[in-house]
Structures are given as structure tokens and as C-alpha cells.
Amino acid sequence: MAGSHRQLRSLWDLPADRIKYGSDKPDDNTLRLTLLHSPDTEEWEDETLDRGRTKEMRWQDWGRHEFNYAITGHTGDWRDGQTHWEAQRFEQRPAAFVVPRYKDYRRNSFSLLDIDTRQVNVQAVKMAENGSGVVVRLQELTGCPCNGITLSATLAITKAEYLDGAERPLGKKLALRNGRLKLDFTPYELKTILLTIPGTKTKAVTKPVKLVYDTDVFSYNNNREDGYTDRTIRKKRDSHCEGSAGSFDGKGGTYPAEMIGDTIQLGNVSFGIGPREAGAYNAVACLGQSIDLPQDARVLHLLAAADVDTDVVFRAGNTDIPLTIGGWSGYIGSWDNRVFDGFVAELSYSLRNDLKRIDPAFIRNQRIAWCASHRHLPAADTLYEYGYLFAYRLEIPEGATSIRLPESPFVRIVAMSVGDEGHATELQSPFEDLHRDAAFAARFTDLLVAENK
């Protein structure tokens, strides 16, 4: 299959971190893939002159790996064979959802954006962070100039301008013709463009539920101890939350108020955020109380979190609704993770601790509605310790006029809304390769016992 008249190219090998590019072709009959990197683990007595060789590398890549790789044949070079497109088809599998039937049943395909060449690809599409339009990132794929390509959308584009990678305007407006863009690309060029397309702004279909706040979970950077160390405020709060109503976790932790606005919109579900000034309440602690719902409410949306992942039961009418409320911080997911004996600094260049165990990979089944890059403690920021608020959807039985909260004071509800937004059911998890069974832990525990003897 390999020879001077026909070439083969490996697409990409796909280990645990999705894609690696370790491949080469030493001759016309050999393709090589690098699946795992084996570093030099020589130890150095002088740890201050680490030279990049550390003891911990002997356990690098321990864990479970699942590899997928493919070969595609073609004439000419990789450009002629469009190997980049084959690779994307192989790696970027479509995510399937159950949705209502599309009204135009005669069409068997639908595309939001269209480009009239395969030399340029739409690498990303998203709503602008400031809500001003649709951000599109495009790239030339072949390393050759490409002039006069046309970008169009299902609806006519009315405005377009260049942005940088951080979505900051570059002051360069783009000319339109009949709602379409004409673009030129240099080899491998990336372009980020803000498109204004009428009708793309999502309208909220939900209405807020009024809450009687009794807890303060936000603080500003200039007053991180807001409500937690104020004895006057704490005196009122101690009665119902054991002194925790001035923080999220009872230890002084709060969300950074400067990172959240007055509303959070998730698709067409909108949540109103309470006041965040000093001493203000802005969340509800779950203490078994009931909250009245609007008449004929059938779907209730919660914006909530807990100090740690917590199993609770809400009750609407005669129906129990079990939920796992996500912990407000920590990792949402992780691959197999090495855990070492003793203290390991967050910023470590020379790590010589012994390996204690390998924690299995995991993914928390939570829908993130808002996240922060850090959290507040009374004395400092917790850098790179992220904060989250999660969205939950509860179907309310007919006739129910209220929702009873669980008795779990460290489950905090920041907002409630009602309204049926239309619910797409995911058919397949995109994280199935994170599955770990009991045999995994036993296997690597045995290996560590043997290693440490």
C-alpha cells in the first residue's frame, strides 16, 4: 500500500488527552506512532540543579489509556488527500440529542454557516461574551494563499468586524455583499470575526421565582470577609446556619462578586442574581422550607451549589425529586491522577516524593451555569481554585403549588426560574473513555505495593 506512487498518512493517534501528534515516516514502507513518552528518570543528588530529570517521571503516564488511530490512503500529498478533513471526521465525532422534529421535513441537512472552499475551516463558533453577536474563528488549512472565499450564514449577515483572540475589536469593519463576506487568507492564517445576524440573540422563556434570601455567598475583592467576621451580622445568622450564612462553606469562602452580573442566561433560561453589596443576603440555605411556585408551573430551574457533592431530595406535591447538588469548587473532571506521599507544592519543578496511589479518572455529571477563576477567603484569594454555580431542571407534577427544599444547610440556592425551555436529551456521553471499574484501582494498588517493597 505504500510506495512512490501512493502515500499513506496516519491521521492522529488519540490517547487519553484526546490527540497527540507523535508520528513520522522514516521510509516509504514505515509509519511510526508515539503513543507514550518514556523520559529519562536518572536521579540527581543536587536537587537545586534539577536539570529537568525528576524521580516522579518514572510513574509518568501510569493509568489506563485508550488509543484510537487510523490510516487513510490517497494519491499525491496530504493536501491532495485532504488528510486534515479525514482527521477531523475521525476525532470530532458528532454529539447526538433528541429534539423536536424540524418543521421543514423536506430538508435532510441544515448548516448554520457555509464556506465555498475546503481550504478554509470554521474552527469555532460561539456567542460573543458581551452578547453583541456571533464569533467565528476560521483558519486556512493547507499552507497556501486563498483569496476570494465566501462566508455565508443561514440568515443574512448584517455587520462584520475583526476581533483578536480575546474578542477585542481591532477596528476593522468588513464589507458585505448580499449578506455575505468575501475573505482572503495567507498560509495557515487565523481570523476571528464578529458577525451580527438578526434573530440569533436568545430570548429567555423563563420567569423568576421570588426568594427570601437568608445567606450571603458573595463578596467583593476589597471586602472578602463580607458578613463572615462581622459579629453584628453573624449574630443574626448563627441561629439558622451555625454561623455559616456569611460564607458559602462555613469557613469564610465566598464567590467573587466582581465576576458575576445581575443575570445569568443559560440558553433560553434566565436566572436573576440577588444583591451583592456588603452585608446583603443573596442565597437561600436549604432548611426544609417550602417556596411557593407560580400557578401552572411545570418546569422549575434551580441555580445552586453545595459545599461538596450532596445527594438531596426536593418534594413537589406528593412527588420526591432526588438530585445530586454539585460541590461549589474542585475539578469537574480529571484523567487518572498520580497522588504522591507528603507535601507537594502547587508550583513544583523538582518533585521527588514517592507515589502513593493513582486516583481513577472521573467526570462530575453537573451542568455548569457560571464559573469563576478563583474564590474568596477572608484573608486572600484561592487562586486557581475554581468556583461554580450549577443549573438543575425539575419537572413539577400537575397540581403542585410549591417546592419543599431538602434539609441540608450547605446546599445553597442562588436563583429559581420557571418555564419550559424545551429540553434536548443527550443520547451518548462524550466522556465514556473516563469510565473506570473496580479492577482498575486493584491493579494499580498491587503495582504500587510491588514497587515500594
Query: How wide is the angle at C-alpha 383 spanned by C-alphas 377 and 384, nearest 5°?
Result: 125
For residue 251, name the pLDDT band (cuts at 50, 70, 90).
confident
Whole-angstrom CA distances from 64 to 61, 93, 358, 429, 442 are 8, 22, 10, 19, 13
Q: How many domains does the chain have?
A: 3
Least confident range from 2-16, 58-72, 273-287, 435-449: namely 2-16
Largest CA distance in the chain: 84
Residues 368 and 397 in one domain: yes
User: Which range of residues forms the domain containing residue 26?
Assistant: 7-91
CATH number of domain containing 137: 2.60.40.2220
Residue predicted with more confidence, 164 or 453: 164
Cβ(430)–Cβ(304) below 8 Å: no
Measured distance CA(83)–CA(97) in Å, rounded: 28
Residues with Cβ within 8 Å of residue 104, at least 6 apart in sequence: none
Does 243 reside within a domain? yes
For residue 414, name the pLDDT band (cuts at 50, 70, 90).
very high
Does 349 reside within a domain? no
Report the pLDDT averaged over residues 261-272: 91
Residues 72 and 143 in one domain: no
pTM check: above 0.85: no
Cβ(388)–Cβ(305) below 8 Å: yes
Residues 216 and 146 in one domain: no
Would you report the helix, strand and coil content of the chain in percent, each value rounded to 5?
10, 40, 50
Residue 200: pLDDT over 90:
no
Residues 105-154 have pLDDT tens digits of: 666 777 889 999 999 999 999 988 877 899 999 999 999 999 999 999 98
Per-residue model confidence (pLDDT) at position 380: 86
Per-residue model confidence (pLDDT) at position 7: 33
Does 450 reside within a domain? no
**Short-list 204, 198, 207, 254, CA closest to 226:** 254
Q: What are the φ/ψ torsions at residue 275 (nearest 5 degrees)? A: -65, 145
